[in-house]
Amino acid sequence: MKQNIEKANDKAKDVEMNGDSYPKCRLNDSQSAHMIWSVLASEIKDVLFAFLDDKEPGPNGYTAAFLKKAWRITGENITAGISNFFISGKLLKELSSTLITLILKVEVPKKASNFSPIA
């Protein structure tokens, strides 16, 4: 997928500015076709396996290290879910959620400003 994006960028036509000062890009038919290519299972696996093992877990509590080790068992379902997103544009709300943890700034908190939120 990264190569497809790079190809589309390399072939991009001139960029014009519209009245709102936003760039307006025009793609030719070949470039447009690159934008709707299916995501390959191998690309999904490559991206997951590029994550650092020691990063914090996602909302489901699973780390990249766990997902890599369990790929033989979970890989098909993970790939199906991600592929479905690229087809339908719908993402499970559980995958796009964020956990917020409040860290105490003082020993005995009495107001909201006594906490420091991290996501």
pLDDT in tens, 28-84: 888 888 777 888 999 999 999 999 888 777 767 788 899 899 999 999 998 998 898
What tokens appear for 5 in the block? 């994006």
Q: Does the model's pTM come out above 0.75? A: no
For residue 10, give every residue at least 6 positions away whose Cβ sits within 8 Å of its Cβ, in sequence order, or none.
Answer: none
- Cβ-Cβ contacts under 8 Å for 109 (sequence gap 6 or more): 115
User: What is the rounded CA–CA span in Å between residue 34 and residue 11?
Assistant: 11
74-119: pLDDT as tens digits: 999 989 988 988 888 887 776 666 667 888 898 898 888 888 887 6
For residue 97, CA distances in Å to 20, 58, 61, 92, 117 come to 33, 9, 12, 9, 15
